[in-house]
Amino acid sequence: MQTLDPITQTVEPRDLGSVTDLLTEDRIGPRDGTGKTVVVAMSGGVDSAVTALVMRERGYNVVGMNLRLFDPEDEDHRANPCCGIPAMDDARKTCATIGVPFYAINMELEFGANVIRKFVDEYAAGRTPNPCLECNRHVKFRHLVQRARLLGADCLATGHYARIEYGQDGTPHKLYRARDDRQDQSYVLYTLNQDQLGYIQFPLGNLTKPEVRRLAHAFGLPVADKPESQEICFVGNRSYADFVSEHRPDVTIPGDIVTNDGTVVGHHKGLVHHTVGQRRGIGIQAPKPYFVLQLDTTQNQLVVGAREDAEARGLQIDTVSLTSGDWPADPFECEVVVRYRGTPYPGRVQLGSADDHTAMVSITTESGPIASPGQAVVFYRHNQVLGGGTISAVERRVAKV
């Protein structure tokens, strides 16, 4: 039976000995929270629940905060389990279990304008957006940091799997991949600036997912066995194409499938059903498989070609940000990643002016990534995140998109 601490009336671990190896400072961070307050972003999942638990164990006064981002249309919210009332209730139950206050904030308008609308518009324009990254950039961290500071909190903590090395004596804070490569989320965090990095904590960065669940079980958290959300929250169990076409019926107009030289080799049922780099589901019989090279929205044509034709040799980037806050004039070498937990490719980055936040990226290996306008490209040096931006154009071996 779970017991309550007689003074704090908060739940104590069922078997502390089973998780003492996970509660050391090298795993969860220093026990430096005495007299300090932290706001923890509570989504209703196990990661944010354990984040709140860990910060409490480090001595912080924890305040749980849930952002209501999207109101699912299905009444029981089964299509979108990470949003809506059930998720908020799970976050509230967790806070009650560990004995910390809980607040819910409605951010549906900001989320709709900065994430959902952009997702629809980008897909309709033949680009490949990343809504989780845009949510982090325009909604979560901007508003959570602001509200945490208004509450007088000393820091903000979230359940993201990433690591921050805090600078000393004026040296910059640095963002790194998580210890658990399978859970690493640094790709969607490259927009964090120095002010945010100095204020945010990622206490799960040195833990694996099974270890997080071990902690949740040991402390009897109500979401210990809650499954991870596998879909974009506002799309749910529908396809991206179905979601976008509900908002933009024009994207389902049929058209031709053509090769680079303009030869018609088939017909598509709407560009929204395809993405750059796609191989399966194009619907063409050919000796060698075709890959999607381009979604030509002006001609309503799907351009296809060989695998090598789809590989990027260079990338034009806009909305570039660097985590250090610096803007070097000289080119720099790094590893380039264009997909969430994607394969790194050696590259060279030449920044444009600091005013327009652009860059050119050259892939310095024979083969390159399959990339699409609208995707995020993130610059790494080993495990450190240097920054990144949004792909505006792709230079390929044959075609330019």
The set of catalytic residues is 135, 233
| Amino acid, single-letter form, for residue 343 | T
What does the alpha-carbon distance between residue 150 and residue 113 come to, in Å, rounded to a whole number?
A: 24
* Helix 240-247 / helix 117-124 crossing angle, nearest 10 deg: 100
Residue at token pair 């034709």: 309
What does the alpha-carbon distance between residue 210 and residue 158 come to, in Å, rounded to a whole number?
A: 18
Instruction: Return the H-helix or E-strand segment holding 396.
Output: strand 384-396
| Buried-exposed string 171-184: b where 16+ CB fall within 10 A, e elsewhere | ebbbbbbbbbeebb
What does the alpha-carbon distance between residue 5 and residue 11 come to, in Å, rounded to a whole number?
A: 6
What does the alpha-carbon distance between residue 61 and residue 52 come to, in Å, rounded to a whole number?
A: 10
Q: Strand (E) positions, 70-224?
A: 102-106, 155-157, 162-165, 174-177, 200-201
142: alpha, beta or left? (left if phi > 0; alpha if psi -120 to 50) = alpha
Residue 297 CB neighbour total at 10 angstroms: 15
